[in-house]
Amino acid sequence: MSASLHRREVVAALLAERGDLLVVAGLGASAWDCAAAGDHPLTFSLWGGMGQATMMGLGLACARPRRRVLVVTGDGEMLMGLGALATVGVQGPANLAVVVLDNERYGETGMQPTHTAHGVDLAAVAKACRFVRTSTVTREDEVPGLRWAIHEAPGPLLAVVKVLAESPPLVLPPRDGALLKERFRGALLQQPAPSS
């Protein structure tokens, strides 16, 4: 499938006016895309743990059922944790959305083709794993509808967004994992100071 969408523009549109959205960014370009959209204490960016992004999203979505949780990841990262789609399907969290930025490449290691370049369809896998809302986005005019669904539609949702195989300039999130954890928990869990 020939893609025309730019990953940075898609992620910037999906994270615009994000409200109280909680975000997990899969390692590599997806994390850089989220950082380019604006570093945020409620974005947890993975620098390792390949294959774990969706499971982290599941844990977070089940822990905070009144918040919307978005996992932004790549096709290679998703393929490494394919079992997570089955595990999410069994738990069925209505507040979880997974967006796979699918450039059909391992972008960080030399643009080698992933299985999706050979026709493996991650949206179809998610549908078979009981995700209630799945789609493949190829056009810019479909992005606002995806943003709406991430915030409003009952999930679990998985959208494959076909993006160009390009490497935009690096924009890096903090790389200290303990710091990322502490600031996320601080922003999410700390009670506001009582007003006197």
Partner 1 sequence: MDSGVTQVAYVPDAGHKRLIELCHAEPRMRAVPLTSEEEGVGLTAGAWLGGVKSVVLMQSSGVGNVVNALAMARECRFPLVMLVTMRGEDGETNPWQLPMGGAAAAVLEAMGAEVHRADKPEDVAPTVRTAIVRAYDAHAGETAVAVLVAQLVIGVKRFVEVSG
Of residues 58 and 157, the one with the C-beta less far from partner 1:
58
CB of residue 63 to partner 1, shortest distance in Å = 3
Q: Before 41, cis peptide (omega within 30)?
A: no
Binding to partner 1 by residue 60, rule CB under 8 A?
Answer: yes
Tokens 């620098």 — which residue? 47
Are 192 and 32 in contact, with CB atoms under 8 Å apart?
no
Given 29, 61, 101, 125, the residue binding partner 1 (CB under 8 A): 61
**Crossing angle of helices 82-91/53-63, nearest 10°?**
20
CB of residue 111 to partner 1, shortest distance in Å = 23
Q: Is the dihedral of CA 179, 184, 189, 191 positive or negative?
A: positive
Q: Before 156, cis peptide (omega within 30)?
A: yes
Given 12, 39, 59, 111, the residue binding partner 1 (CB under 8 A): 59
Question: What x-and-dash track marks residues 75-94 binding partner 1 by CB under 8 A?
Answer: ------x-xx-xx--xx---
**Crossing angle of helices 7-15/143-152, nearest 10°?**
40
Cα dihedral 29, 32, 33, 39 in deg (nearest 10): 160
CB of residue 10 to partner 1, shortest distance in Å = 23
Of residues 49 and 168, the one with the C-beta less far from partner 1:
49
Given 46, 70, 98, 163, the residue binding partner 1 (CB under 8 A): 46
Return d(Cα 190, Cα 11) in angstroms, integer. 28
CB of residue 112 to partner 1, shortest distance in Å = 19
Binding site for partner 1 (CB under 8 A): 22, 24, 44, 46-64, 81, 83-84, 86-87, 90-91, 177-178, 180-181, 184-185, 188-189
